[in-house]
Amino acid sequence: MPDPIMDILLAFAPVFHQRTWEKIPTMMVGAILAPGKRTVSSLLRVMGLSAISNFARYHHVLSRAVWSPLRGSQILLGLLVKHLARGELPLVFGIDETIERRWGRKIAARGIYRDAVRSSQSHFVKASGLRWISLMWLVAIPWAQRIWALPVLTALAPSKRYYERSVRGPKKLTDWARQVIFQLRRWLPDQEIVVVGDNTYAVLDLLHACQSLRNPVTIIARLRMDAALYEPAPPPSGKKGRPRKKGKRLPTLQQCLEDSSTVWQVFKLPWYNGQQRHMELASGTAVWYHSGKPPVPIRWVLIRDPLGEYDPIALLSTHQSYTPVQVVQWFVQRWQLEVTFQEVRAHLGVETQRQWSDKAIARTTPVLLALFSWVTLAAHLLQAQHPLPVRPAAWYSKSLPTFSDAIAFVRYHFWSHQHIFCLSPPDQDIVKMPHSLLTRLIDTLCYAA
């Protein structure tokens, strides 16, 4: 394979024992080349190993072998930061959950959840499946000229019903988020980090925990309009008693929105549709406090559309020094997480797995999500040596590459790494395509759907 791909592939060798590592390149390349389902059998078939009798060894890599996906995530993050970071601070990450639709009585962590993709404000749709919480790096891809969300760490977050047969108590989604963010801080102990989420992560316990770290992690999330905001606590008066946690009560954000004296500023901001849009912003600092919870100092930002096409929303930032424009720009970038979830379903076969083993289930989906980042990094390194082609059409005008172009670019180099299709070989001997490779190509093409 090309040297850039070999470099970022061999970086994961220390994660596995030697006998397990011998199977990893085959499975990894097979997962990229295989169309349709991403079962172990489909990986072996596209790699020309459908006739081997000891195929169970490849299933055991996911269900039995001893290796640490957490260690693999750390290596992946290090490679991404090394090759894609351009010295810009802070590093912005997005966090969100997604439902992998799965059925089967033997899947222990399966639950019933609201399907956010198929539901609406007036229509509620339930889905059976697995809930994953994923942390993705929001980074500008130079050849795509836009922000992509690259998964770096994904964890299974079962529902409350899963813990009914367990000794330990249930873990809330925010508990998983805290663990994921703390793990990210351990991997990047000195970097300035911002984590962007929706209103699920606007929880005082989580915000306080991230603020209390030796090197705090900034959280940006949606804030409810009726949040109880206060002025900072006054300095100690020297009197007996517990020191005050908060000062005077401030108006709610809903009241600020309706107050005619609120000062609004108009900014031209990048919006969800990729276009620049004029929005009105109002901002301030306060202490968010609820009885029995720790107080959290925040910067709040109110967003209002002067054209009235979008409902007003409120955001919070646990770093009060960030400007309102920065907070809004980083929050809008969070939409790329939804794009990544859609791409891994369309091009990497998420939701087509068929494992029943708890260990295999806990490993396969995070690996497929991480494969999105690995393919993006491989395309980034290859395009430095070869131009990355874009596939437009008369009915689809496209000037910049998307993930479908990136994975096709990497697949092309996998298929042609032996220069079988080279029209002008360096030597004068004619190199014919081996019959085994021709059979694999025809079989993959015929069963692509």
The proportion of the chain whose per-residue pLDDT surpasses 90, expressed as a percent, equals 66
- The pLDDT score that the predictor gives to residue 424 is 52
**Which pLDDT band holds residue 432 (cuts at 50, 70, 90)?**
low
| pLDDT value of residue 386 | 87
Contact predicate 46/33, CB 8 Å? yes
Which stretch of 33-47, 157-171, 313-327, 428-442 has the lowest confidence by average pLDDT?
A: 428-442
On the question of pLDDT at 132 being above 90, the answer is yes
* Backbone φ, ψ for residue 5 (5° rounding): -70, -40
Q: Nearest-5° angle of CA 411, CA 413, CA 415? A: 70
> Looking at residue 93, what DSSP letter applies?
E
Largest CA distance in the chain: 95
Q: How far apart are CA 419 and CA 376, in angstroms?
A: 23
Question: Band of the pLDDT at 442, cuts 50, 70, 90?
Answer: confident
Task: Report whether pLDDT(88) > 90.
Answer: no
Decide the pairing of beta strands 111-114 and 146-156.
unpaired
Q: Is the dihedral of CA 412, 414, 415, 421 positive or negative?
A: positive
- pLDDT confidence of residue 419: 46
What was the pLDDT predicted at 447?
64
Transcribe 169-215 into DSSP letters: PP--HHHHHHHHHHHHHHHSSSS-EEEE--GGG--HHHHHHHHTSSS
pLDDT for residue 427: 56
Q: How confident is the model at residue 86 (pLDDT cuts 50, 70, 90)?
A: confident
Tokens of 426: 């360096």
Is the pLDDT score of 356 beyond 70? yes
Question: Which residues, 6 or more positions from 436, have their beta carbon under 8 angstroms from its beta carbon?
Answer: 48
String of b and e for 422-448 (b: at least 16 CB within 10 Å)? eeeeeeeeeeeeeeeeeebeeebeeee
Angle at 237 between CA 232 and CA 241, to 5 degrees: 95
Predicted confidence band of residue 323 (pLDDT cuts 50, 70, 90): very high
Q: Tell me the whole-structure pTM to 2 decimals.
A: 0.91
Q: Say what the pLDDT of residue 129 is.
A: 92
pLDDT at 394: 85
pLDDT at 99: 93
Q: What is the pLDDT of residues 357-411, one digit of tens each?
A: 999 999 999 999 999 999 999 999 999 888 898 988 888 888 899 999 999 999 9
Residue with tokens 């925990």: 209
Between 125 and 180, where is the model more confident? 180
Beta bridge pairs of residue 154: 134
Domain ranges of the chain: 1-197+334-387
pLDDT single digits (tens) 171-224? 999 999 999 999 999 999 999 999 999 999 999 999 999 999 999 999 999 999
Q: Which residues contact 19 (CB under 8 A, 6 or more apart)?
A: none
Predicted local confidence at residue 420, as pLDDT: 45
pLDDT digits (tens, 9 = 90+) for 65-85: 999 999 999 999 999 999 999
Structure token pair of residue 446: 């015929």
Using the structure block, give the residue that is written with the tokens 């001997």: 429
pLDDT band at 429 (very low <50, low <70, confident <90, very high): low
Please give the mean pLDDT across all residues of the chain.
Answer: 90
150 sits in which H/E element: strand 146-156
Measured on CA atoms in the order 338, 61, 11, 216, is the torsion positive or negative? Answer: positive
Question: How many residues are listed for the chain in this entry?
Answer: 449
Tens digits of residue pLDDT in 254-297: 999 999 999 999 999 998 877 899 999 999 999 999 998 999 99
Contact 324, 266 (CB under 8 A): no
CA distance 22 to 198: 41
| Confidence label for 51 from pLDDT (cuts 50, 70 and 90) | confident
Residue whose token pair is 């670019």? 409
